[in-house]
Structure 1
Amino acid sequence: MKSAFAAALAGAALVLAGPALAADPTGLWQTSTRSGQVEITKCGPDLCGRLVSSEGLKADPALKDVNNANPRLRDRALKGLTILTGFSGGPDAWTGGSIYNAEDGKTYSGTLTLDGTDTLKVKGCVIVPLCKTQTWTRLR
């Protein structure tokens, strides 16, 4: 009887822990363009993300941020560059953040929304409703 109760309690704990694990956006994500890979981590209380790889970085790991709107930042390396900053919230959506697009050198307001455990909707906006959403896939 005690072992059945313990097994039921352990099963309940796993069920309750499942959604918490599913709502964790940290990890390595494949972007939907240019074979980009972004590592999302906690940065203090918020989420941030850095560029790990892309088609361009595979061809030239020394690529610089040459399209940045700020001329003083054009000499910084793209590899390891923080492109997601300031996202807060949860458990399934994070808002209030910024997304830097190295292709055009501009920063956009953004939201991150988990759609299951391995799909992340990344929305960047010039101003609402002028937004674009990409679907990223979890690599790990």
Structure 2
Amino acid sequence: MKRLLPRAGVLAILLAVPAALPAANAQSVIGRWNTQKQGGIVEIHRCGEALCGRVVDGAPLRANPDQRDVNNPNKALRDRKLLGARVLHGFTGGPRVWKGGPVYDPETGDGANSGVLTLADANTLKVKGCIAAFLCRTQTWKRVR
């Protein structure tokens, strides 16, 4: 029986596989994203079978890490801390387009029942929230480097 690859060739292939993984992960929506407002950073992460996003940084939070969600239309949530607050929930799909919701903007207190995350390229994410099929708002987020 003839060997197709010498042992050195097999070893080179095995060593190359882990090196290729970071490039594949760069195409994922999972990670930290700069929002368009006030130097905000949202971390998108797995939550069960879906993706969620939480506030992890922002200029107002650096000035006051104890800042509360005072603009929330739900009075019961106005006392919760903004740091760690969930702003994206239940997004499924991928690898480039994820659909789900709700979506929440803590700066304005606006929420949307549904949304779409579209990975335009490895470092650009379009975040769209809709309160109705024709009433949507989109932001462009950039990956944190």
In 1: Cα distance, 2:41 partner to 2:94 partner: 22
Structure 2 equivalent of residue 134 of structure 1: 139
Structure 1 equivalent of residue 80 of structure 2: 76
Structure 2 equivalent of residue 64 of structure 1: 68
In 2: Cα distance, 1:51 partner to 1:5 partner: 46
Structure 1 equivalent of residue 120 of structure 2: 115
User: Helix, strand or coil for the counterpart of 1:42?
Assistant: strand
Q: Tell whether the 8 Å contact from 1:23 to 1:90 is kept in structure 2 after alignment.
A: no
User: Helix, strand or coil for the counterpart of 1:61?
Assistant: coil
In 1: Cα distance, 2:76 partner to 2:22 partner: 46
Q: Tell whether the 8 Å contact from 1:113 to 1:122 is kept in structure 2 after alignment.
A: yes
User: Helix, strand or coil for the counterpart of 1:115?
Assistant: strand
Could you list the runs of 5+ residues in structure 2 that have no partner in the other structure? none
Q: Tell whether the 8 Å contact from 1:124 to 1:131 is kept in structure 2 after alignment.
A: yes
**Bigger-Rg structure (1/2):** 2
- The 5-angstrom pairing of residues 88-127 of structure 1 reads 88-108=92-112, 109-127=114-132
Q: TM-score, normalised by structure 1?
A: 0.84
How far residue 113 of structure 1 moved from its aligned partner, in angstroms, is: 0.8
- Matched AA of 1:119: T
The C-alpha deviation readout for 1:52-97, integer Å capped at 9, x for no partner, is 1112112211111111111111110001111110000001110022
Q: CA RMSD in A?
A: 2.5
Q: TM-score, normalised by structure 2?
A: 0.82
User: Helix, strand or coil for the counterpart of 1:104?
Assistant: coil
User: Helix, strand or coil for the counterpart of 2:61?
Assistant: helix
Structure 1 equivalent of residue 32 of structure 2: 28
**Cα distance change, pair 131–5 in 1 and its aligned pair in 2 (3 A):** same
Q: Tell whether the 8 Å contact from 1:51 to 1:79 is kept in structure 2 after alignment.
A: yes
In 1: Cα distance, 2:78 partner to 2:26 partner: 37
Could you list the runs of 5+ residues in structure 1 that have no partner in the other structure? none
In 2: Cα distance, 1:61 partner to 1:13 partner: 41
- The 5-angstrom pairing of residues 46-65 of structure 1 reads 46-65=50-69
Q: Tell whether the 8 Å contact from 1:93 to 1:112 is kept in structure 2 after alignment.
A: yes
